[in-house]
Structure 1
């Protein structure tokens, strides 16, 4: 028997059962989230903490996943598959139980960071086999066209049912259920997975742990800055100033540290490439629309009065759009077309979603009216995730991509979304106060009783929120037009201009022979004329 095994399961496990286990493990691992966004309102009310802590915990899980990315190959070469899975699942089970039983917000944030770190190791164990199953020829475009819709649909469906479970029980119950599922997965892993190595064993000696600390510290400081900025009035709060300077100093130390290492933790070399720069810019554009989800939630919960289950069910409406985007992307990559119009269609779908949300800012709205804008949102989200991610990582060397993929991942999943979520939330708050002041002009305390004035307070607040949301969505629509113009003028790796230049390089020999022949004929004619002229003279 060979000492190495690049598969996941023992040789006696039937192939159909292996495929089923890969699918089940992938779905369950994707649903291992330390904080479910649909349960945040219940957690805030029960724990008596600000929602900013839970927002930071959600960001911390993405930071942990990005921190683990540069270590993926080393860990896979150092440990067996069974060891990686059992350890990661055991840690996730313990931390899920800790989150369900603790009352300290800082412990939830730390648990989310560590859970995200180990979740990435588990994900890569199953993503690699899925990549070879879904795309045997190695074309990443077709794999993205299947995997991204699958992951988005899985996340939305799991979020809905976990919110429903928490609504009918308590918010702790989904975390306890997650811990129990992790223990069941450990039992399945011990029974079915082999105990062989993937390849030759490599040591951990060349991993720079200090760089990993700087990397995590940089984005944790940034997460605190973006999560608590509005609450603490940005730079008026001392902790916000500390987090801002902590972000800059940690990133500077991280960059300087890489210059002195023979094997760097991350590589900044690929960020000089045109496709990476343009891809990150388009991911930043996508963050504008993802950040607007906070406006949608405030409207659905604050104005329409939806409960957490109904609010989570809106994400289920995105599924048809996600499926359409996956099908379009699959055949788009199969035909090997340019990515320009696929990316443009994604931004156009988000633009139409923002336009519809602008006109939907009314005090009363039927539930079915959400269907079309959410389908457009699902299409735009899936199309941009597939196309922009493919374009960003296109034609990159595997070694360089593995060293820089952590930065790209944290930029897509955390930075782009968090920056605009925080900015749009602050902008909506400023517009809300402005709207309250504008509406208060028409109220005179001398002409109405105190009871009458207080009875109109709720109406003023609701109308102020609606007016503020409309202003923000209007600005997003204007920005979306600029994004679409940028996409239309971008080359996406194709040659934009061509010019025909005449060159003699290929015809030098023929032209020389032709020229020599003309000279010879001319010389003969001159000699004939000279002979004729001499005879006459």
Structure 2
């Protein structure tokens, strides 16, 4: 850890530190929801298909997931303050290129690089959030705060971008994100000491090969899932080739991890029952969360609602997420069985889906959707 030197300077109050952390993590989280802020506006500006906009988001996520294991090596080698500014600078540069370009392939490449840089800044933010939380509830509060932000960010991005896209082109969102990094960066520069949160570990034997294999496999799998239906699945040679290539890459990755002394991804975790159950629950949860996108499409395509009104409806979803996070974290702190928390959560999701089935019609009152959302 940082030894006798505190992470933040003595004059920085606790509230200033909290504001700094919020200003630091907000732009990085906004990049997660940027591609889905308004798919039609993005497609119109770049002159691409809506599926291309969706795939740019997949490429970003693939970079975050693929780089996560390798990122820890850089985190332990570079001092935290320096690492934050490197990650922030990379995100500003990639955002500027996304702001300037009209080329689809340039957009894909720099969204991928943006995801790698975002992984670094998010890792720093999570670590610093946990460093400010003390006591037995620190773990629960820390994860609750972060995942609350993560779940809300899609609806929040739609809310703040809808009025902007009525007046400006889509690329102006990247310009806003560039400037949104500045307050957090300035506050971090003055308030944080140049300390390390981990013991320095040299950058040798970096497993770039596993990263490339893993990230490429994720990108190809995402390509199949995004473009498959549009191109009639395996009737299209590109979909068939991508499927075969992704299977080969993932098989190669597994064999490589088993042969390495220090694997990039420790596959031993799959031997633990709780990990497999947790992974299954997350998979089911995100399928259920995906229906929120279907709901937004229904509001726009069937009810003819504009993005601003859809965004205000999504305020109900944000309120529900915040209430749900408070209740669930409280249940965990009180040592209630995790299965009970899961049952409560998935029962509410079941009620939401059944309710929406009855509400979906060619004509409906938007206010009636607020409670289920």
Same-fold call, TM cutoff 0.5: yes
Deviation at 1:339, TM superposition (A): 1.4
Matched ranges for 1:462-473 at <5 A: none
Which string of whole-angstrom CA distances, capped at 9 and with x for unpartnered residues, describes residues 126-149 of structure 1?
A: 212322434532653343334322
Deviation at 1:59, TM superposition (A): 1.3
Which string of whole-angstrom CA distances, capped at 9 and with x for unpartnered residues, describes residues 67-99 of structure 1?
A: 222134321221011221111111111111111
Q: Which has the larger radius of gyration?
A: 1
CA distance in 1, matches of 2:119, 2:227: 27
Deviation at 1:214, TM superposition (A): 0.6
* Aligned residue number for residue 165 of structure 2: 166
* Aligned residue number for residue 327 of structure 2: 328
CA distance in 1, matches of 2:50, 2:184: 32
8 Å Cα contact 1:86/1:189 also seen in 2: no
SS in 2 for 1:372: coil
CA distance in 1, matches of 2:62, 2:234: 24
**Residues 327 and 198 (structure 1), Cα distance of their counterparts in 2 relative to 1, 3 Å cut:** closer
SS in 2 for 1:269: helix
Q: Does 1:277 align with 2:272?
A: no
Q: Does 1:291 align with 2:290?
A: yes
Which string of whole-angstrom CA distances, capped at 9 and with x for unpartnered residues, describes residues 396-420 of structure 1?
A: xxxxxxxxxxxxxxxxxxxxxxxxx
* Aligned residue number for residue 157 of structure 1: 156
**Residues 236 and 123 (structure 1), Cα distance of their counterparts in 2 relative to 1, 3 Å cut:** same
Deviation at 1:155, TM superposition (A): 4.6
CA distance in 1, matches of 2:112, 2:186: 25
Structure 2: gaps spanning 5 or more residues: none
Which string of whole-angstrom CA distances, capped at 9 and with x for unpartnered residues, describes residues 425-481 of structure 1?
A: xxxxxxxxxxxxxxxxxxxxxxxxxxxxxxxxxxxxxxxxxxxxxxxxxxxxxxxxx
8 Å Cα contact 2:20/2:184 also seen in 1: no
Structure 1: gaps spanning 5 or more residues: 375-537
Which string of whole-angstrom CA distances, capped at 9 and with x for unpartnered residues, describes residues 194-222 of structure 1?
A: 23333442211132110010110110000
Q: Does 1:84 align with 2:79?
A: no
Q: Normalised by the size of structure 2, how large is the TM-score?
A: 0.92
Q: Does 1:243 align with 2:242?
A: yes
Matched ranges for 1:97-108 at <5 A: 97-108=96-107
Deviation at 1:324, TM superposition (A): 2.1
SS in 1 for 2:81: helix
8 Å Cα contact 2:130/2:138 also seen in 1: no
The number of residues matched between the two structures is: 373
**Residues 310 and 193 (structure 1), Cα distance of their counterparts in 2 relative to 1, 3 Å cut:** same
* Aligned residue number for residue 355 of structure 2: 356
**Residues 329 and 123 (structure 1), Cα distance of their counterparts in 2 relative to 1, 3 Å cut:** same
Matched ranges for 1:98-247 at <5 A: 98-137=97-136, 140-247=139-246
Deviation at 1:6, TM superposition (A): 7.3
**Residues 183 and 332 (structure 1), Cα distance of their counterparts in 2 relative to 1, 3 Å cut:** closer
SS in 1 for 2:116: helix
* Aligned residue number for residue 341 of structure 1: 340
**Residues 346 and 16 (structure 1), Cα distance of their counterparts in 2 relative to 1, 3 Å cut:** closer
- Larger mean Cα displacement after TM superposition, 183-192 or 73-82: 183-192
CA distance in 2, matches of 1:297, 1:34: 14
Deviation at 1:7, TM superposition (A): 5.1
* Aligned residue number for residue 30 of structure 1: 29
8 Å Cα contact 1:5/1:197 also seen in 2: no
**Residues 52 and 133 (structure 1), Cα distance of their counterparts in 2 relative to 1, 3 Å cut:** same
SS in 1 for 2:16: helix
Deviation at 1:247, TM superposition (A): 0.8
8 Å Cα contact 1:81/1:195 also seen in 2: yes
Indicate the RMSD between aligned Cα atoms, in angstroms: 2.3
**Residues 138 and 205 (structure 1), Cα distance of their counterparts in 2 relative to 1, 3 Å cut:** farther
Q: Normalised by the size of structure 1, how large is the TM-score?
A: 0.65
CA distance in 2, matches of 1:137, 1:233: 53
Deviation at 1:175, TM superposition (A): 0.7
CA distance in 2, matches of 1:195, 1:327: 34
8 Å Cα contact 2:94/2:110 also seen in 1: yes
* Aligned residue number for residue 306 of structure 2: 307
